[in-house]
Chain A
């Protein structure tokens, strides 16, 4: 029950922006969108999350459509170290105990 749909794989040239899409058409009003990534079987790493406004931090930007049915994670200047599997997850943010449902994610390959 991942509740999100992502393309299985993407390539991006080093130095370019990587735009990773995610569909979450059944998202509820109180569900947040989270992004994590997993580099080569390491533990997943938190990237960013948002509810309805666009968000930006030192790692990435998150653009959420007005109807909240989809979002895009943007890595502004991809490096080789950004090669990883990226997971888009929806989760109720303020309800104790709701776990993350990880789907199969998008495998991003940054090409030199």
Chain B
């Protein structure tokens, strides 16, 4: 049973480009969470999704950021017109029921140059 798969592991984008981060949850998990970790800081919650629905996006920046979790395929975190301040590690986690603890992926490290 593969764990939470995130790709790419590393992503470099120039300022103004778009970044698309993918997360495939564990088999049987229909709840997905995205977190961001800036250098030397703790993880900050961004968004919680259940298949085809956004449950809680209270941690998402109001502009340029969006997330989806379609019926088929991975969850996507999309960052439009990236800026240097978007450089961070983005972690995805999944849960079977949204109740107890969840499993994290290895993260995508985004570098904006």
Contacts and interface: CB of A to CB of B under 8 A. Distances in A.
Contacts of A45: 104
Contact of A93 (B56, B100, B106): B100
Q: Is the interface of A mostly helix, strand, loop or mixed?
A: loop
Contacts, number: 55
B107 A99 contact: no
B42 A104 contact: yes
Contacts of A34: 101
Given A97-B48, A99-B59, A44 B43 contact: yes
B48 A99 contact: yes
B107 to A, nearest CB: 5
Interface residues of B, number: 27
A81 interface: no
A97 B42 contact: no
B103 interface: yes
Please classify how large the interface on chain A is, using the bins under 10, 10 to 19, 20 to 34, 35 or more: 20 to 34
Contacts of A21: none
A99 B103 CA distance: 13
Contacts of A38: 43
B55 A97 contact: yes
A93 B19 CA distance: 33
Given A99-B59, A105-B42, 11 more contacts: A36-B101, A43-B93, A46-B101, A93-B99, A93-B100, A94-B99, A95-B99, A97-B55, A99-B48, A99-B56, A104-B42
